Amino acid sequence: MTEQPVSIRPGDDSVDWAQTLSRLDRVLRIRTTPIGMKMFETVEEMEAIERIRRPKDIHTADQIVSMASRLNWTVGITGSDLVGAQCASVLGLGGQDDDWYSGQHMAGVWFKTVEDASIHQHAMDIVPTGNYQAMAVSPLSTGRLNPPDICMIYATPGQMIILINGLQWSGYKKLDWGCVGESACADSWGRALTTGEPSLSIPCYAERRYGGVNDDEMLMALSPGHLVTAIDGMEALAKNGLRYPIPPYGIQTDARAGLGASY
């Protein structure tokens, strides 16, 4: 019997994760564990998650995210578990004061002047402070976040364009993203948490150095509903022969036969 696609709207939480992840694997063959992230109003709510791990050391948010995506752990944190205000500020778990917005701590390191650094800080998409006390990440396969606020998919550029094509299959709209450079987590989970929109990023130096993100990986953060919409779209594209991996056609061959089928 053919497996029936799950159909939900962005924002719905009725996701059969076993079926959804099986479908995702068939269309994209991604190698890094798809994970979810959820914000909590109280620490007690976060600590009530089944088999939650709490850090014993101080980490970057990139490390916490990668404990889920690379080690398959379910991890919960508060702002006090994070090193410095940069990570906490993106998640709305601290920072975001005048000193942080000044960018003084990044001037002369990442940016030439204090003015440049301050412009960078103001350009970041960040969760407002005061709404949440904790955050947790977990592999989507565990179903422990029930539901996550956002899903995060690490993939190569070739996989990512197919995922984007899937998002655009039905109800097309142009997808626009920015790049703040350093602190690119603001482009992915910061933007997705604050806007609810699919958010693509090129992981930054810190994500690669501390979070172990591979050199060829990009990151998409999106709601559970948008993820299912993308999978629906990718399955439809696959029926038209437009699927991952993308087979090279050959740079010196006559292109008319291939273009006739796909365009």
Amino acid identity, position 63: Q
* Residue range 29-58: mean pLDDT, rounded: 97
Instruction: Please give the average per-residue pLDDT across 36-50, as a whole number.
Output: 98
Which tokens hold the place of 238? 């696959």
User: Across the chain, what does the average pLDDT equal?
Assistant: 93
Strands 75-77 and 218-222: unpaired
pLDDT at 27 over 50: yes
Model confidence at 13, in pLDDT bands (50, 70, 90)? Answer: low
Q: Are 185 and 62 in contact (CB under 8 A)?
A: yes
Assess whether pLDDT exceeds 60 at residue 11: no
> For the chain, which residues make up each domain, given as ranges?
17-244
- Given a cut of 60, whether residue 5 has pLDDT beyond it is no
**Given this model, what pLDDT does residue 216 score?**
97
Residue labelled with tokens 């990986």: 217
Q: What is the mean pLDDT of residues 81-108?
A: 96
Mean pLDDT, residues 54-78 taken together: 98
**261 pLDDT band (50/70/90 cuts)?**
confident
> Is a pLDDT exceeding 70 seen at residue 244?
yes
Q: Is the separation of the CB atoms in 134 and 79 below 8 Å?
A: no
Q: Where are the alpha helices (DSSP H) in the chain?
A: 17-28, 43-47, 61-69, 84-91, 98-102, 114-123, 157-167, 189-195, 205-211, 224-239, 256-262
Measure the CA–CA gap between 68 and 33, rounded to whole angstroms: 8
pTM of the model: 0.92
- Split at pLDDT 50, 70, 90, the class of 97 is very high
Does 7 have pLDDT greater than 70? no
Segment 130-187, tens digit of pLDDT: 999 999 999 999 999 989 999 999 999 999 999 999 999 999 999 999 999 999 999 9
pLDDT digits (tens, 9 = 90+) for 186-238: 999 999 999 999 999 999 999 999 999 999 999 999 999 999 999 999 999 99
**pLDDT for residue 175:** 97
Query: Which two structure tokens, joined as six digits, stand for 112?
Result: 């030439």
